[in-house]
């Protein structure tokens, strides 16, 4: 089964079952990202297209890179992340119709920055409701406002989550790079 057949047989039915395609929720196939690169003599290469882009009320929310049923689930991860970056959408998905690999581009950036700079990622998540705003990185003043409004909630949620892990006999999975 090739990629197009996998999309038709597995991916689109799953998206429709999840409510995509209903009023305001669009599934855009072969979504154009960029024209093909200029090769010279008036010719262009193959245009860059995302397999699927999910929109809600004309706002792009996610990109989905599909692969054939017999390919690895993670085969399209790099493409999905690249397309999400180019389209400026927060969520990127890679799928082969049998499973789905989801990437939250904002959180992925936060954890990478946290790891590189040896900053506890919880501290970064605390101020990450919109880490980038049109005027640039949050200001000291806006950071104080976010801290004032949300620090108690974030601490309570973190403590409650840890209690739930302990009560359920689970452990935290530590990521390695």
Q: How much is the pLDDT for 157?
A: 73
Q: How much is the pLDDT for 141?
A: 75
Exposure pattern of 59-74 as b/e (b: 16+ CB <10 Å)? ebebbbbbbeeebeee
Class of domain 3-105: alpha beta
Q: What is the separation, in whole angstroms, between the first and last Cα of the chain? A: 34
Flag whether pLDDT at 125 surpasses 60.
Answer: no
Flag whether pLDDT at 73 surpasses 90.
Answer: no
Q: How much is the pLDDT for 123?
A: 47
What digits encode the pLDDT tens for the residues 134-161?
554 556 776 677 677 777 776 777 677 7
Sequence ranges of the domains in the chain: 3-105, 120-177
Flag whether pLDDT at 124 surpasses 50.
Answer: no
Q: How much is the pLDDT for 50?
A: 96
Exposure pattern of 114-151 as b/e (b: 16+ CB <10 Å)? beeeeeebeebbbbbeeeeeeeeebeeeeeeebeeeee
What digits encode the pLDDT tens for the residues 30-57?
999 998 888 888 888 899 999 999 998 8
User: Which pair of tokens denotes residue 105?
Assistant: 């581009």
Distance between CA atoms of 130 and 96, rounded to whole angstroms?
A: 31
């Amino acid at each position: 089964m090739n990629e197009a057949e996998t999309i038709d047989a597995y991916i689109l039915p799953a998206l429709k079952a999840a409510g995509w395609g209903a009023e305001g929720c669009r599934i855009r196939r072969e979504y154009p990202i960029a024209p093909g690169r200029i090769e010279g003599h008036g010719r262009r290469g193959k245009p860059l297209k995302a397999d699927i882009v999910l929109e809600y009320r004309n706002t792009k929310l996610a990109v989905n890179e599909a692969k054939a049923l017999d390919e690895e689930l993670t085969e399209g991860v790099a493409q999905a992340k690249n397309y999400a970056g180019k389209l400026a959408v927060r969520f990127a998905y890679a799928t082969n119709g049998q499973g789905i690999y989801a990437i939250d581009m904002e959180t992925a950036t936060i954890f990478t920055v946290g790891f590189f700079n040896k900053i506890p990622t919880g501290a970064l998540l605390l101020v990450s409701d919109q880490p980038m705003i049109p005027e640039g990185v949050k200001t000291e003043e806006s950071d104080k406002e976010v801290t004032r409004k949300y620090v108690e909630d974030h601490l309570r949620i973190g403590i409650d989550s840890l209690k739930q892990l302990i009560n359920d006999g689970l452990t935290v999975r530590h990521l390695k790079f």
